């Protein structure tokens, strides 16, 4: 019993110490980790890991300089505003209530810190007592914006939570499957429901009991992809439910049509006035075209590579370094454009991605970061724009089109997140025409769409949560 009480006491004292409750050196100005005259608090950024909700997070190094050199017993440090490389960690110990496991994790991130802002370094332990997860992140104390790390948000499964300024307008989503913007609304598909919001992200306007694994919006409807389901029956028999596409009325939320697929589909997107789904075809991949006028599959096309559909054709970026143009009517190749990007990236990932619209075909070179523009009239390469883009872009479609899906409506530009910025590459010239500052957590982004006069930027907040923010479009230059 004496040993048990000592174990409990050690856990309590450790938590008390790590949360800063026992630190008396927090009064006055924080220690500085920069040279020269001491600056006022509104001229520096402060890192703080002694807050009451920090629970085990701490900063170890800033730009490879050890923080303990200046902090001693304090749990804050002041740095000059700007980009810094931070090494920080989180820790939890064993206890009778939480189990015997203990863990320390360390992360390193490049973070943009602003003058006059305080940044909290937080850690929390969640999950089963025997195998818990440790969440570690850095957030702006004033706005709650996560600038680095893996945050834990205590939200019910499948729920959405509206977030206003200064961090928003935005919404935190637990269990996000996919985002769609169109038909005058924002659509969020979660693990529990299909949620409709207004385009200012100020209100949830409807929630429909519909789930799936894919979403697109346009052609007067919301389209949800349901993956193949295998339901156990009487062993060893099994009943197979193939994948299918649900056509949903955007006003009532009612399923007005169901399109059965030949197998387990993997993706859904509206392109060239039709709904396209990726379907299995042996060891290859194929795309089936669903006609919104009949709600039936009208054709299926093999596609050994990265594809997009536009300008009356299917465009396939192949591993042999060519861009193939396939006529949608005859399914025959009508042009083969050498683009010089061969093979795959490490891990078998494709080396290219394709986006089509407004007379241009853009091939994103993921091996040597750049965008190659091909004129759809001449089938020739016109420009190459070096840009260290990450993974996602919003395709160059005109907002005058009746199709209002985000990826179909990008103000005549290819929108790219890169190097702390979001840039628009003009679809006519292939040159960068506008740039604006990306959110501080842009490195965690998972989707970028442009529609309804705004940029919709999605970032990971944790293992199961995401944050969707609305960013106003810059004026055309």
pLDDT tens-place string over residues 10-45: 333 333 333 333 333 455 789 999 999 999 999 999
What's the pLDDT score for residue 358? 80
Both 171 and 135 in one domain: the answer is no
Both 286 and 421 in one domain: the answer is yes
Q: 354 in a domain, yes or no?
A: no
Rounded to whole angstroms, the Cα distance separating 22 from 74 reads 11
Q: 319 in a domain, yes or no?
A: no
Q: Average pLDDT of the chain?
A: 81
Can you tell me the mean pLDDT for 178-185? Answer: 93
313 has a pLDDT exceeding 80: yes
279 has a pLDDT exceeding 70: yes
Residue 130: pLDDT band by 50, 70, 90 thresholds? Answer: low
383 has a pLDDT exceeding 50: yes
Both 127 and 22 in one domain: the answer is yes
Residue 129: pLDDT band by 50, 70, 90 thresholds? Answer: low
453 has a pLDDT exceeding 80: yes
- The continuous run of DSSP H or E covering 40 comes out as none
What's the pLDDT score for residue 331? 93
**289 exposure class (CB count in 10 Å sphere: 0-12, 13-18, 19+):** buried
| Percent of the chain with pLDDT strictly greater than 90 | 41
What's the pLDDT score for residue 203? 95
What's the pLDDT score for residue 227? 78
125 has a pLDDT exceeding 80: no
Both 109 and 128 in one domain: the answer is yes
Q: 367 in a domain, yes or no?
A: no
CA 194, 198, 202, 204 torsion: positive or negative?
A: negative
Q: Quote the domain boundaries for residue 244.
A: 160-303+387-472
230 has a pLDDT exceeding 50: yes
Can you tell me the mean pLDDT for 436-450? Answer: 80
| Domain-ending residue, one of 150, 182, 209 | 150
Rounded to whole angstroms, the Cα distance separating 43 from 163 reads 28
Both 130 and 191 in one domain: the answer is no
Structure tokens at 209: 């009991």
Both 176 and 244 in one domain: the answer is yes
Both 93 and 182 in one domain: the answer is no
Q: 180 in a domain, yes or no?
A: yes
Both 64 and 188 in one domain: the answer is no
48 has a pLDDT exceeding 70: yes
Q: Are strands 118-126 and 45-48 parallel, antiparallel or unpaired?
A: parallel
Q: How many domains does the chain have?
A: 2
What's the pLDDT score for residue 422? 86
Pairwise pLDDT comparison (299 vs 285), residue with the higher score = 299
Q: 443 in a domain, yes or no?
A: yes
Can you tell me the mean pLDDT for 390-399? Answer: 52
Both 291 and 417 in one domain: the answer is yes
Both 268 and 417 in one domain: the answer is yes
Nearest to 225 by CA among 270, 183, 186, 181: 270
Structure tokens at 286: 């194929």
What's the pLDDT score for residue 408? 36
**139 exposure class (CB count in 10 Å sphere: 0-12, 13-18, 19+):** buried
Backbone angles phi, psi at 42, to 5 degrees: -80, 0
77 has a pLDDT exceeding 60: yes
Span between the terminal Cα atoms of the chain, in Å: 74
**Lookup result for tokens 């299909």:** 194
Structure tokens at 189: 């598909």
Q: Are strands 45-48 and 57-62 parallel, antiparallel or unpaired?
A: unpaired
């Amino acid at each position: 019993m004496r040993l048990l009480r000592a174990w409990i006491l050690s856990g309590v004292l450790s938590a008390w110490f790590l949360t800063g409750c026992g630190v008396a050196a927090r009064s006055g100005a924080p220690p500085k980790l920069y040279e020269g005259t001491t600056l006022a608090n509104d001229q520096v950024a402060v890192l703080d890991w002694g807050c009451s909700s920090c629970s085990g997070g701490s900063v170890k190094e800033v730009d490879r300089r050890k923080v303990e050199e200046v902090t001693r017993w304090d749990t804050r440090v002041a740095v000059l505003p700007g980009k810094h490389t931070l090494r920080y960690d989180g820790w939890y110990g064993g206890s009778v209530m939480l189990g015997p496991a203990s863990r320390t994790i360390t992360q390193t991130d490049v973070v943009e810190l602003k003058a006059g802002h305080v940044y909290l370094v937080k850690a929390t332990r969640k999950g089963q007592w025997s195998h818990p997860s440790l969440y570690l992140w850095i957030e702006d104390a004033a706005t709650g914006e996560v600038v680095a790390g893996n945050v834990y948000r205590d939200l019910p499964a499948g729920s959405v939570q509206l977030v206003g300024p200064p961090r928003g307008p935005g919404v935190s989503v637990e269990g996000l499957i996919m985002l769609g913007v169109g038909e005058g609304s924002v659509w969020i598909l979660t693990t529990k429901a299909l949620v409709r919001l207004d385009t200012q992200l100020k209100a949830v306007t409807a929630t429909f009991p519909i789930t799936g694994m894919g979403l697109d919006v346009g052609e007067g409807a919301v389209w949800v992809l349901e993956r193949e389901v295998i339901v156990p029956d009487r062993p060893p028999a099994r009943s197979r439910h193939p994948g299918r596409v649900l056509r949903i009325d955007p006003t009532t939320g009612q399923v007005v049509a169901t399109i059965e697929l030949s197998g387990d589909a993997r993706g859904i997107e509206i392109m060239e006035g039709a709904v396209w789904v990726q379907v299995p075809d042996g060891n290859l991949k194929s795309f089936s075209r669903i006609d919104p006028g009949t709600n039936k599959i009208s054709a299926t096309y093999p596609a050994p590579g990265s594809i997009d559909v536009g300008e009356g054709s299917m465009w396939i970026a192949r591993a042999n370094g060519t861009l193939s143009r396939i006529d949608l009517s005859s399914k025959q190749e009508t042009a083969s454009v050498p683009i010089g990007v061969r093979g795959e990236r490490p891990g078998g990932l494709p080396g290219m991605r394709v986006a089509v619209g407004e007379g241009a075909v853009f091939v994103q070179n993921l091996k040597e970061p750049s965008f190659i523009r091909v004129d759809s009239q001449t089938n020739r390469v016109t420009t190459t724009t070096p840009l260290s883009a990450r993974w996602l872009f919003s395709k160059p479609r005109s907002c005058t089109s009746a199709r209002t899906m985000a990826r179909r409506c990008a103000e005549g530009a290819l929108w790219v997140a890169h190097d702390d910025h979001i840039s628009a590459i003009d679809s006519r010239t292939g040159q960068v025409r506008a740039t604006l500052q990306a959110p501080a957590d842009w490195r965690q982004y998972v989707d970028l769409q442009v529609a309804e006069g705004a940029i919709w930027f999605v970032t990971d907040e944790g293992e199961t949560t995401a944050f969707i923010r609305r960013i106003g479009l810059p004026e055309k230059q």
